[in-house]
Amino acid sequence: MTRPPDLLDIADATLTEAGLEPRGTGRLLLIACGALAREILDLKRLNGWDHIDLTCLPAKLHLYPEKITEAVSAAVTKHRAQYDRIFVVYADCGTGGQLWDKCKELGVEMIEGPHCYSFFEGNARFAETAETEITAFYLTDFLVRQFDAFVWRPMGFDRHPELIGMMFGNYERLIYQAQTDDPALDQAARAAAERLGLAYERRFTGYGDLAHALTRFAKTPGNPA
Amino acid sequence: MAEDDDEIILSELSDDELTAQMMDDLYDGLKEEIEEATHILLERGWTPYDILTKALVAGMTIVGADFRDGILFVPEVLLAANAMKGGMAILKPLLVETGAPRMGKMVIGTVKGDIHDIGKNLVAMMMEGAGFEIVDLGINNPVEKYLETAAAEGADIIGMSALLTTTMPYMKVVIDTMKEQGIRDDYIVLVGGAPLNEEFGRAIGADAYCRDAAVAVETAKDFIARKHNQMTA
């Protein structure tokens, strides 16, 4: 899968820190995690979903999962008057079911699954392998690109490498769930595994259940496409 | 927190200054300084229990409060915990010799399917600092491990930890098994972990959800006191 140039123009650092504003076009809105922006825009382009707009919250919210539910709720409230329907592209993401309950209360749908590692791999398959992979640490394309911003620096490994053993001592393997075929990302993910002292595995997932969920939303009766 | 630490000679500080300095050093995760200060206080005739409670636990409580308030983050807390561990390693054998109040015994572990133990380790350390005897089961524990160990050790408390939303429901499996075996009321069951909340704790039938290590200590003390009151009533 090669990416169109416009997607590459979105800086990962911007998606991490600030998110993405909607363009204001389309009747349906996706409210997503910044870590999924490129994948969603790619699916939008591939499927010609011009009736769907996208806004992203800063991906760094994942460092404080307790803030996700409130942030999503605020975004739904802010944008709902401008769109016919809204779909939330966050999994549970460590909110302990609170995001699911909030979306229900707000009358909006959200993607199923405990986190993006699960829906990229496919929730059913991920659930099957979960027991045998409890010592695995997962990275997606976005997290490989943002490894320093999401793992290395927030965990303090740049200042205190002795913390690596304390935080990753129980992990054995880093699994890079590749959404795209990109040798540079493969190399970066392998390097991340080495820095953490973990064995490395690359596993191509593509967009997994993300593609299915967005396709369903795009084609829901009553929706324009 | 502390600045120009390199100019401070710990042995020249008064007791009050030294304990205050230890709290600063704990906050800054300075393990060697904590070890040195612990030795100094021992030489000055402090009891191991006083050093533990008045310097180490008191310092770590500040760290815990600042973590809860978003002033400190996981790396800083881990460094502080590591420094406290340094002091505790010196004090632990001495505490056994000199005696310290015994609060009760706790079996603690991360639930099956989960390998995350940072929070669990912090709770275990703070509980130990508060006078609880800890049996640490480590990570990925099935129900049998909790119940067999609790019975064999004559524990008062079973503590369960989980970081993942996918593994936290396993706490209910443990509690339901206790109910099936008719032993639920033999133990105080405390649960904790980032994705948990009070509502979840209630829903699965735990005695309490503990938001952080300091709350775990206070909750455990409270339940143990109530248990003793019931026994003497």
Domain's final residue, options B39, B69, B98: B98
Taking residue B44's Cβ as centre, other Cβ atoms within 10 Å add up to 12
Residues of B with CB below 8 A from A60's CB? none
Closest listed residue to residue B11, CA positions, set B28, B30, B33:
B33
> For B69-163, where are the alpha helices, taking DSSP H only?
74-98, 118-129, 143-153
Contact of B28 with chain A, judged by CB distance below 8 Å, is answered with no
Query: Would the CB atoms of B195 and A130 count as touching at under 8 Å?
Result: no
Task: Please give chain B's pLDDT, 233 residues, in tens.
Answer: 555 556 789 999 999 999 999 999 999 999 999 999 999 999 999 999 999 999 999 999 999 889 888 899 889 999 999 999 999 999 989 987 777 778 899 999 999 999 999 999 999 998 988 889 999 999 999 999 999 999 999 999 999 999 988 899 999 999 999 999 999 999 999 999 988 999 999 999 999 999 999 899 999 999 999 887 776 65
CATH number corresponding to A5-115+208-219: 3.40.50
Within this chain, do residues B110 and B189 fall inside the same structural domain, yes or no?
yes
Query: Would the CB atoms of B115 and A171 count as touching at under 8 Å?
Result: yes
Residue with tokens 């499996």: B173
Contact of A160 with chain B, judged by CB distance below 8 Å, is answered with yes
Within this chain, do residues B79 and B147 fall inside the same structural domain, yes or no?
no
Q: Which residues of chain A have pLDDT under 50?
A: 1-5, 225
Query: Would the CB atoms of B165 and A95 count as touching at under 8 Å?
Result: yes
d(CA A74, nearest CA chain B) in Å: 21
Query: Would the CB atoms of A92 and B165 count as touching at under 8 Å?
Result: yes
Half-sphere exposure of A157 (CA within 13 A, CB side): 17
Domain's final residue, options B32, B65, B98: B98
For residue B122, give the chain A residue with the closest CA: A166
- Domain CATH code at residue B174: 3.40.50.280
Query: Would the CB atoms of B74 and A96 count as touching at under 8 Å?
Result: no
Query: Would the CB atoms of A65 and B75 count as touching at under 8 Å?
Result: no
Contact of A132 with chain B, judged by CB distance below 8 Å, is answered with no
pLDDT at B233: 56
Question: For chain B, how many structural domains are there in total?
Answer: 2
Closest listed residue to residue A143, CA positions, set A41, A12, A40:
A12
Taking residue B148's Cβ as centre, other Cβ atoms within 10 Å add up to 12
Count CB pairs under 8 A between chains A and B.
56
Query: Would the CB atoms of A154 and B166 count as touching at under 8 Å?
Result: no
For residue B168, give the chain A residue with the closest CA: A96
Residues of A with CB below 8 A from B140's CB? 134
- Provide DSSP, A77-119: HHHGGG-SEEEEE---TTSTTHHHHHHHHHT-EE--SSSHHHH
Q: Where in chain A is the domain with CATH 3.40.50?
A: 5-115+208-219
Enter the ipTM. Answer: 0.81
Q: Which residues of A91-100 are buried (b: 16+ CB within 10 A; e: fewer)?
A: bbbbbbebbb
Q: Is residue B4 part of a domain?
A: no
Domain that residue B68 falls in: 9-98
pLDDT at B4: 53
Contact of A155 with chain B, judged by CB distance below 8 Å, is answered with yes
Q: Which residues of B195-214 are buried (b: 16+ CB within 10 A; e: fewer)?
A: bbbeebbeebbbbbbbebbb
Within this chain, do residues B93 and B115 fall inside the same structural domain, yes or no?
no
Contact of A121 with chain B, judged by CB distance below 8 Å, is answered with no
Q: Measured between CB atoms, which of A65, A97, A98 is closest to B194? A: A65
Q: Which residues, 6+ apart, have CB-to-CB distance to A164 below 8 Å?
A: A155, A157, A195, A196, A197
Query: Would the CB atoms of A96 and B168 count as touching at under 8 Å?
Result: yes
pLDDT at A1: 43
Give, in degrees to the nearest 5, the angle at Cα A40 between A39 and A43. Answer: 90
Domain's final residue, options B66, B98, B130: B98
Query: Would the CB atoms of A160 and B79 count as touching at under 8 Å?
Result: yes
The tokens describing B192, both together, are: 């904790």
Contact of B165 with chain A, judged by CB distance below 8 Å, is answered with yes
Query: Would the CB atoms of B114 and A65 count as touching at under 8 Å?
Result: no
Q: Is residue B1 part of a domain?
A: no
